Amino acid sequence: MNINKTYVRKGLAGILCACLAIVLQSSALAEEADEAGQIRRIRQIVLSRGDDPTGLAHLIQLSSDLQPAAAAELYRQLADAYLRAGQLEQAAEVLHQLVDQHLDQPPAVDGLLTLVWLYSSSEVAHTAKKSLRKTGENAMPVYALYLAQQALGRQRDLANNPALAFQCAVASRLTGNLQSAKSWLSPLKHSRHDKSWHQCALVETWLQGPRDTASPKPTMRCSRTDERPLLDGVLGEKLWQVAKTQAEDDDSAQIRWACDAKFLYLAIRCQKLAGENYASEKLPRRYDADLTGHDHVRLSLDRDRDYATCFQFSIDHRGQTADRCWLDASWNPRWFVAANSDDTSWTVEAAIPWTELIDRPPQAGDAWALAVDRQSANEAAPESFGLLIFD
């Protein structure tokens, strides 16, 4: 049998190339896995130090051998963990390091946006008065704008980020500079490239005008009342009969709002869902109950309409609750809840003291962003928010 030696050599070369590719791929996967393990170990070490003031220096030292992309991802994960634990100063330090050192990496764009949220959020400013405090009125949103503009000077492509532009508009509005806010919003208003932020920008224009046309977003009214409801889960008071109702798309959940000088009141009525367990449980209320497996409604109250940082209140059919400020589940406001049910529906009445939400009650015409979700595990997106307008 005659065998062409050229074909043999080509065949062997092909096999060798294939083997080399497999070896290189395996090596790359091993390196990637090792890098992921290194990130996990460093994260655990840094988080175990708690609020140790040397934590950032320790992080920089431990991550010095990581590739820029891996270091950026590590910083993003750590910042998220700090925010969820309510450790805002540590989160800010890590985010600053991320933006300063790795602005060309994708996690840094999210990090910059998170910094702007952190420093300009009215909700965070109210609940974290002892941290992240800078001298002077409106200093925090001014600082948020400074950080954004510094980053824009280094990375001009950030100007095309609609979420960042909108948050800069929010920060400008909070400083009282409405002209600057309009400048940030103008490109979003005239472009439909991102429909959610386009709609949010249109809302800001509508709120600054005479409001003689329909709002670009669904609106709900919060009426003033002289009648304080008896919190028993029975919606018999006159204030609930005259209050306008907001309904979910399928009308299975309805909510009404009212307020006086001390409290924000809400009433929820939900039609019971087929297949759900509505067994009554006489359990004492506790902070941040596990509502998994129980029919519940989540309310996201966004004072400054940034559609990101907000107060979240979750209530289930038993009257058990969970709450948080933005990502921080350690925020535990004092509020009052009563629940009731019949064969077809369950109801909740609640009263939230204004002092938990804001320094002074809203004035007539003030507008907050509001999202209402039933049994949703996803974060409320900008397009899911409507407006809560105070009478």
pLDDT computed for residue 20 by the predictor? 40
Over residues 182-202, the mean pLDDT reads 94
Is 266 in contact with 255 (CB distance < 8 Å)? Answer: yes
What mean pLDDT is predicted for residues 365-390? 94
Lowest mean pLDDT among 42-51, 302-311, 317-326, 349-358: 42-51
The continuous run of DSSP H or E covering 265 comes out as strand 263-271
Q: Which residues pair with 255 in a beta bridge?
A: 246, 268
Question: Higher confidence at residue 258 or residue 3?
Answer: 258
Residue 288 has pLDDT above 70, yes or no: yes
Q: Which helix (H) or strand (E) holds 299?
A: strand 296-302
The H or E element that residue 47 is part of is helix 5-47
According to the model, what pLDDT value does residue 3 have?
47
Question: pLDDT by residue (tens digit) across 114-138?
Answer: 999 999 999 999 998 655 655 555 7
Structure tokens at 165: 């532009």
Quote the pTM value.
0.87
Pairing of strands 386-390, 367-374: antiparallel
pLDDT band at 82 (very low <50, low <70, confident <90, very high): very high
Other beta carbons within 10 Å of 285: 12
Q: What is the dihedral of CA 248, 249, 252, 258, to 10 degrees?
A: 20
Residues in the chain: 391
Domains (ranges, CATH) in the chain?
60-208 (1.25.40.10), 220-273+293-390 (2.60.40.1190)
The maximal CA–CA distance of the chain, rounded, in angstroms, is 105
Picking from 221, 218, 241, 237, the residue whose alpha carbon sits closest to that of residue 229 is 237
Residue 77 has pLDDT above 70, yes or no: yes
pLDDT at 22 over 80: no
Residue 54 corresponds to which tokens in the numbers above?
């040397």
Greater confidence, 262 or 286?
262
Cα distances (angstroms) measured from residue 373 to each of 249, 312, 383: 10, 11, 13
Q: For the purposes of burial, counting CB atoms within 10 Å of the CB of 170, is it exposed (0-12), middle (13-18) or buried (19 or more)?
A: buried
Q: What is the pLDDT of residue 131?
A: 59
Dig out the tokens for 93 from the structure: 């330090």
What is the pLDDT confidence band of residue 242, given thresholds at 50, 70 and 90?
confident
Q: What is the average pLDDT across 292-301?
A: 94
pLDDT digits (tens, 9 = 90+) for 301-311: 999 999 999 99
pLDDT tens for 40-52 read: 999 999 888 877 8
